[in-house]
Amino acid sequence: MNSFLLFRAEDLWGQSCVSRILDTSVVPFSRTDLLNSPESETVFDSKLQILKFDPRCVSANASTLRLLEIWADDGAECGQVSSVGSIGEARNLLSQHEEPAQIWRAIPRGRIRRGALLEEQLRRKKWKLPLGWASAANLQIKQSWQKYACGGFIWLDSDQLLWATRFREIAPEGQWCFIEDRKNPPSRAYLKLWEWSWRSAFQPLAGERVLDLGASPGGWTWVLLEAGCRVVTLDRSSLDELDPRVRSRIESAHQGDAFDLTSWPIGPWDWVTCDVIASPQRSLQLIEALRQRDQRFVITVKFKGVPETEDLRLLSRQLDDRRVTARRLWHNKHEITVWMDRP
């Protein structure tokens, strides 16, 4: 039995980050051909962007794996590679291993057309993604998903099927494609917070008080307001940069430096959100400060190039705190989202 992670295909930045993590990891992973590898080895197939590993091999290297999981779009813990001669044979194999309330998705890698044909034969339920913020009503949808086993498969070759009954992400390959609201949000950054609200266990709720750092022009603020939160904004730029449509709805707006905690407006805060453009070092230091204060937060960490080894080390230490999660969301380009949702 293997575990595997899927990384974004044709994505130079993501690939460089994964290479940096693999190269700088304490216990190096070997990179050989996925199909020819012995079961016990950890291998990275750069064409399909799949890392396959035996969980027993990486237990000593859990921190490397946690870092890789940030950049992985999807993955599964118990995967198998099976030799199957035809689509009918594959259908029979997967049907035999179904969990209750099974949904099968063809992951669009490898032999994509063959995958679509197999999915067609296995389909029982049409999979629909949500439209926006995980509101109270949508939270019920989120909870109801938990009863489904979201399996998936990839034809690595015409007779080699990689499959698992449970994948990490409900959206295939972590591709959270929402129907966009092109009228109301002041910026498209709102999509990041929408996606986070579906992928995190918790989220800001109506009535909670939130400090939104680097808020202008107000995409995140708009999402928080729509969720019924009481929002205070802080941005280095002039207050005029904040869209008047959100300005009129917030508690107060402040001009200042997000990284100078002594200059923040008076709390307490149920959540601190931060989408400031800054060096990764500064954002990671802010994460450290908030973590030590048991302050719930959602912060994007933006990178100019490949993360420095020192940044990866700090991030890895922060992830040792089980309250902290980091993911490169589908709507994150050269950045990752880090959050702590339990005080």
Minimum separation from the CB atom of position 30 to ligand SAM (A): 39
In angstroms, rounded to a whole number, what is the distance separating the alpha carbons of residues 102 and 97? 10
Per CB under 6 A, the list member of 58, 81, 189, 227 interacting with ligand SAM is 189
Number of residues that bind ligand SAM (CB under 6 A): 22
Bridge pairing between strands 102-110 and 149-157: parallel
Strand order in the sheet with 252-255: 252-255, 230-235, 209-213, 271-274, 297-302, 335-340, 324-327
Binding mask 198-227 for ligand SAM (x = CB under 6 A): ---------------xxxxxxxx-------
CB 218 within 8 A of CB 301: no
Instruction: Tell me if 236 contacts ligand SAM by CB under 6 A.
Output: yes
Minimum separation from the CB atom of position 200 to ligand SAM (A): 17
In angstroms, rounded to a whole number, what is the distance separating the alpha carbons of residues 284 and 338? 9
Per CB under 6 A, the list member of 6, 22, 118, 278 interacting with ligand SAM is 278
Question: Concatenated DSSP letters for 92-104?
Answer: HHHHHTPPTTEEE
Instruction: Tell me if 252 contacts ligand SAM by CB under 6 A.
Output: no
In angstroms, rounded to a whole number, what is the distance separating the alpha carbons of residues 132 and 139? 11
Residue 31 or 302 having the CB closest to ligand SAM:
302
Instruction: Tell me if 277 contacts ligand SAM by CB under 6 A.
Output: yes
CB 173 within 8 A of CB 15: no
Per CB under 6 A, the list member of 235, 286, 312, 314 interacting with ligand SAM is 235
Instruction: Tell me if 195 contacts ligand SAM by CB under 6 A.
Output: no
Instruction: Tell me if 187 contacts ligand SAM by CB under 6 A.
Output: yes
Residue 173 or 275 having the CB closest to ligand SAM:
275
In angstroms, rounded to a whole number, what is the distance separating the alpha carbons of residues 16 and 25? 14
* Residues near ligand SAM (CB under 6 A): 186-187, 189-190, 213-220, 235-237, 257-259, 275-278
